Structure 1
Amino acid sequence: MTKRKIVKAILYVLLILLAIISFIPFYMMIVNATRSNAEILQNGFTLFPSAALMENYEVLISYMNVWKGFSNSLLVAVCVTLLSSYFSALTAYGFAVYQFKGRNVLFVSVLVLMMVPGQLGLIGFYDLIKSMGFLDTYIPLILPSIAAPFIVFFLRQFIVSTLHSSLIEAARIDGAGELRIFHRIAFPIMMPAIATMGIFTFIGSWNNYILPLVVLFSPEKYTLPVMMGALRGSQVAQNLGAMYLGIAISVVPIMIAFLFLSKYIISSISAGAVKE
Structure 2
Amino acid sequence: MAKETTSYKSQKVILSTIIYVFMIVFTLIAIVPVWLMLVNATRSTPEINAGISMLPSKYSIANWHILTGRGFKIAVGFRNSLTISACVTVLCVYFSSLVAYGIHVYRFKGRAILWNLIMMLIMLPASLSFIGFCQFISQLHLRDNFIPLIIPSIASAGTVLFMKQYMDSVLSFELIEASRIDGAGEFMIFNRIILPVLKPALATQAIFAFVGSWNNFMTPFVLLSKTDMYTLPMLVQMLRGDIYRTEYGAIYVGIAVSLIPIIIFYAFMSRYIISGLTMGSVKE
Listed one character per residue, the Cα deviations across residues 94-120 of structure 1 (whole Å, up to 9, x for unaligned) are 000001000110111011111122222
**How far, CA to CA, are the matches of 1:148 and 1:269 in structure 2?**
24
Check the 8 A contact 1:79/1:142 in 2, yes or no: yes
Check the 8 A contact 1:60/1:246 in 2, yes or no: yes
**What is residue 5 of structure 1 aligned with on the other side?**
13
| Bigger Cα displacement from structure 2, 255-264 vs 135-144 | 255-264
**How far, CA to CA, are the matches of 1:122 and 1:53 in structure 2?**
39
**How far, CA to CA, are the matches of 2:91 and 2:167 in structure 1?**
19
Could you tell me which of 11, 17, 22 is aligned with 2:30? 22
Could you tell me which of 172, 177, 180 is aligned with 1:169? 177
The 1:113/1:270 distance shift into structure 2, 3 A limit, reads: farther
**What is residue 180 of structure 1 aligned with on the other side?**
188
Check the 8 A contact 1:63/1:236 in 2, yes or no: no
Could you tell me which of 43, 59, 83 is aligned with 1:52? 59
Query: What SS class does the counterpart of residue 232 from structure 1 fall into?
Result: coil
Give the residue type in structure 1 aligned to 2:134. Y
Check the 8 A contact 1:141/1:212 in 2, yes or no: yes
Query: What SS class does the counterpart of residue 42 from structure 2 fall into?
Result: coil
Work out the percentage of aligned pairs sharing the same amino acid: 45
Listed one character per residue, the Cα deviations across residues 162-213 of structure 1 (whole Å, up to 9, x for unaligned) are 1111111111111111111111221111111111011011110000000000
Q: Which runs of 5+ in 2 are unaligned?
A: 1-8
Alpha-carbon shift at residue 270 of structure 1 (Å): 7.4
**What is residue 153 of structure 2 aligned with on the other side?**
145
Query: What SS class does the counterpart of residue 50 from structure 1 fall into?
Result: coil
The 1:269/1:170 distance shift into structure 2, 3 A limit, reads: closer
**How far, CA to CA, are the matches of 2:279 and 2:178 in structure 1?**
22
Listed one character per residue, the Cα deviations across residues 134-181 of structure 1 (whole Å, up to 9, x for unaligned) are 110100100110110010111011111111111111111111111111
Listed one character per residue, the Cα deviations across residues 44-83 of structure 1 (whole Å, up to 9, x for unaligned) are 1112211111111111112311221122111111110011
State whether structure 2 residue 258 is matched by structure 1 residue 233. Answer: no
**How far, CA to CA, are the matches of 1:114 and 1:244 in structure 2?**
35
Alpha-carbon shift at residue 5 of structure 1 (Å): 2.8
State whether structure 2 residue 195 is matched by structure 1 residue 211. Answer: no
The 1:80/1:58 distance shift into structure 2, 3 A limit, reads: same
For residues 92-171 of structure 1, the aligned pairs below 5 Å read: 92-171=100-179
Number of residue pairs matched by the alignment:
272
Give the residue type in structure 2 aligned to 1:105. I
TM-score using structure 2 length: 0.90
Q: Which runs of 5+ in 1 are unaligned?
A: none
**What is residue 192 of structure 1 aligned with on the other side?**
200
**How far, CA to CA, are the matches of 1:124 and 1:6 in structure 2?**
56
Query: What SS class does the counterpart of residue 238 from structure 1 fall into?
Result: coil
Check the 8 A contact 1:32/1:49 in 2, yes or no: yes
Alpha-carbon shift at residue 257 of structure 1 (Å): 1.7
